[in-house]
Amino acid sequence: MTTNIFGRNVLGFALAAVMLSMAAPAAEAQQRGSDPEHTLDMTWDRWLDHDEIGERMKLMECTWPQFLDLQSIGTSYGGREMWLMTINNPATGPEAGKAAMMIEANVHGNEIQGAEVTLYTIWYLMENYGRIDGITRLVDERVFYILPTVNPDGRDYFLDEHGSGARTGHVPVDSDGDGAFDEDGPNDINGNGLIEQIRKFTPGEGTHRVSALDPRIMERVPPGEVGDWVLLGSEGVDDDGDGRVNEDPVGGYDPNRNYASDWQPNYIQGGSMNYPFELPEARAINDFQMAHPNIAGFQSFHNSGGMLLRGPGAAWQGRYPQSDIRVYDEIGEFGERMLPYYNYLVIWQGLYTVHGGSIDWTNDGLGIVSFSNELWNGGQYFNSPLLQRQQEDPRDPTNGQRSRYFFDDFLEFGDEYVEWAPFDHPQFGEVELGGWKKLSGRVNPRFMSMELFHRNMAFTLYHAESMPLMSMGETTVERVDGDVYRVRVDITNERLIPTITARALENNVVRPDLITVDGDVEIIAVGWVADKNRPGPTQLIDQAELDRIMVRSGHPGRTTKTIEYLVRGRGDMTVTYSSLKGGTVSATVQVR
């Protein structure tokens, strides 16, 4: 049984639910040809507004109710729900006992395609659970929290309204300091549904000229020369009659500068607002993350440039501890192999300085290994060595700035460009409107979406795979004398990321791991075994409560440690290792 979704209005949520209820044994999909039928056919070739995202999430929740749980973690300033999907297999344990990977996107209103990556991730994991062993195991071992859009107001403003370049959310800010809020933004003055650019013909007095290679290219004239055109910004008029155009659009801040690590005031970090977590969206996310200390991995999708970014956001924060850097480097360098055209970079070194960014807070304040991918690199338009060699030829139509027009002309059939057309502007007089549409540049062409979605998902799944996973290994019981026994238990973190990062230890922001003992035996002493294969001393654990050992430094990645108890008595003895980010595991031995 197949359910199709062609577009937002074709199939309402209620109808879908009815169809699904009729198709109860949907999981028993028939193998036809080389590929299994999908339980839920979804198309991935259009950009979804906030309502459509919600519809898809509800539909997926109805389709896979045993794994998916949809909730709103808060409402945006504009009253839109912040939908978050939990993926958890309750048969393998409750959420809190498993490491969670949180994936969010679209904190900047115009950086949209991460939302579709996250929806694709939910869909892919569900479609392939029970079919691909690696996916089945991942879903069984881990929890996923998926928040497709952090900034639903900004997303809808970008997709459905006038926010063609707007990063901001919609909390009103008096950007021009005139006492009025958001009173003069862009306007679609020619009524074609687009916010274009304005240029004015000013012969001999301009800053730009039309390129000889392609009349659509506006070149800035070199110093000492004059051009015939000036660029006057985005399409709009002087709404408030103050003599300026578009000087106070909606919002006017950077929603990814409102987090609580290295937050700085506006004059140091533009757009940071008045205090950390002032923005309702940032606060809702932080509240959720603080209430879910099992989150061990975090990805925040942005665009663009093709980057796998990690903190710190500012040089003055100094370097991460070396052991944390090793973990990041391994994941980031793996990512470079999985994502051609993407580079693994530190934010301040490779991008620019960011104070109060989201992943700085999750790393420093919450102890979560965090990445931010800048989706889409313009180099991917010409993604072969052959094409790149052709581009190097100055006479080639794909050379330099012309490449973008070439691509639009021949691969998108001119879909992303609006020819300049005259317009009589109330403030500027005779001008022309035109230029690139909002989807070009930062957002990949739709036909290239699948690869972008899948590769970036694969990177987050690798990140999820790297989260700590505790297990108990070999146990031994050896009689020392009388009723005194030596009990040894191997404790392993099977994966790359430690249960507690070095930065989390420095800041005391993650509860220590706990090793507890239940049973009738009396504990005389506890220690770490230096080397199981050689006789020799153990590292005595000097703590007051030997049946509740605190391990502040956590368990390193891909490491087995052996703990040794010297006990008096006989009977069952259960040793439990409890880690907020690595799970809880136990081993029971018979002491006799």
Q: Name residues contacting other proteins, limited to 87-146 (CB under 8 A).
A: none
Print the binding letters for residues 314-333 with other proteins: x by CB under 8 A, - otherwise.
xxx-----xx-xx-xxx-xx
Q: Which is nearer to other proteins, 43 or 322 (CB)?
A: 322
For residue 509, state whether it binds other proteins (rule: CB under 8 A).
yes
For residue 365, state whether it binds other proteins (rule: CB under 8 A).
yes
**Closest approach of Cβ 463 to other proteins, in Å?**
16
Among 69, 178, 396, 409, the residue binding other proteins under the rule CB under 8 A is: 178
Write out the binding residues for other proteins, residues 458-477 only, by CB under 8 A: 473
Q: Which is nearer to other proteins, 401 or 471 (CB)?
A: 471
**Closest approach of Cβ 77 to other proteins, in Å?**
14
Its sign, for the CA torsion 541, 576, 145, 290, is: negative
**Closest approach of Cβ 8 to other proteins, in Å?**
37
Torsion of CA 230, 236, 239, 243, to 10 degrees: 0
For residue 547, state whether it binds other proteins (rule: CB under 8 A).
no
Torsion of CA 566, 572, 573, 574, to 10 degrees: 160
Residue 246 tokens read as 């578009």
Among 223, 481, 534, 537, the residue binding other proteins under the rule CB under 8 A is: 534
> 459-495 burial by CB neighbour count: b if 16+ within 10 A, else e?
bbbbbbbbbbbbebeebebeeeeeeebbbbbbbbbeb
**Closest approach of Cβ 52 to other proteins, in Å?**
34
For residue 576, state whether it binds other proteins (rule: CB under 8 A).
no
**Closest approach of Cβ 97 to other proteins, in Å?**
15
Bridge partners of residue 516, in order along the sequence: 548, 576
- Find the part of the chain contacting other proteins (CB under 8 A) among 38-46, 155-163, 481-489, 503-511: 503-511
Which helix (H) or strand (E) segment holds residue 374: the answer is strand 369-375
> 292-311 burial by CB neighbour count: b if 16+ within 10 A, else e?
bbbbbbbbbbbbbbbbbbbb
**Closest approach of Cβ 397 to other proteins, in Å?**
30
Supply angle C-alpha 170, 172, 173, rounded to 5: 120
Is 119 within 8 Å of 148 (Cβ atoms)?
Answer: yes
- Find the part of the chain contacting other proteins (CB under 8 A) among 14-22, 61-69, 176-184, 444-452: 176-184
For residue 161, state whether it binds other proteins (rule: CB under 8 A).
no
Q: Is 96 strand, coil or helix?
A: helix
What are the distances in angstroms from CA 507 to CA 550, 556, 557?
A: 16, 17, 20
Write out the binding residues for other proteins, residues 336-355 only, by CB under 8 A: 343-346, 348-353
**Closest approach of Cβ 331 to other proteins, in Å?**
11
- Find the part of the chain contacting other proteins (CB under 8 A) among 102-110, 140-148, 224-232, 507-515: 507-515
For residue 169, state whether it binds other proteins (rule: CB under 8 A).
no
For residue 528, state whether it binds other proteins (rule: CB under 8 A).
yes
**522 DSSP 8-state letter:** E
Write out the binding residues for other proteins, residues 476-495 only, by CB under 8 A: 490, 492, 494
Q: Which residue has the tokens 């639903």?
A: 152
| Strand pairing class (68-75; 81-87) | antiparallel
For residue 15, state whether it binds other proteins (rule: CB under 8 A).
no
Distance CA 34, CA 19 (A): 26
Q: Which residue has the tokens 């439990």?
A: 576
**Closest approach of Cβ 197 to other proteins, in Å?**
24
- Find the part of the chain contacting other proteins (CB under 8 A) among 28-36, 237-245, 391-399, 581-589: 237-245
CA of residue 284 relative to chain centroid, distance: 16
**Closest approach of Cβ 550 to other proteins, in Å?**
4
Q: Give me the amino acid identity at 226.
A: V
For residue 549, state whether it binds other proteins (rule: CB under 8 A).
yes
Distance CA 475, CA 216 (A): 73
> 134-168 burial by CB neighbour count: b if 16+ within 10 A, else e?
ebeebbebbbbbbbbbbbbbbbbbbbeebbbbbbb
- Find the part of the chain contacting other proteins (CB under 8 A) among 22-30, 158-166, 174-182, 440-448: 174-182
**Closest approach of Cβ 313 to other proteins, in Å?**
10
**Closest approach of Cβ 275 to other proteins, in Å?**
4
# binding residues, other proteins (CB under 8 A): 83
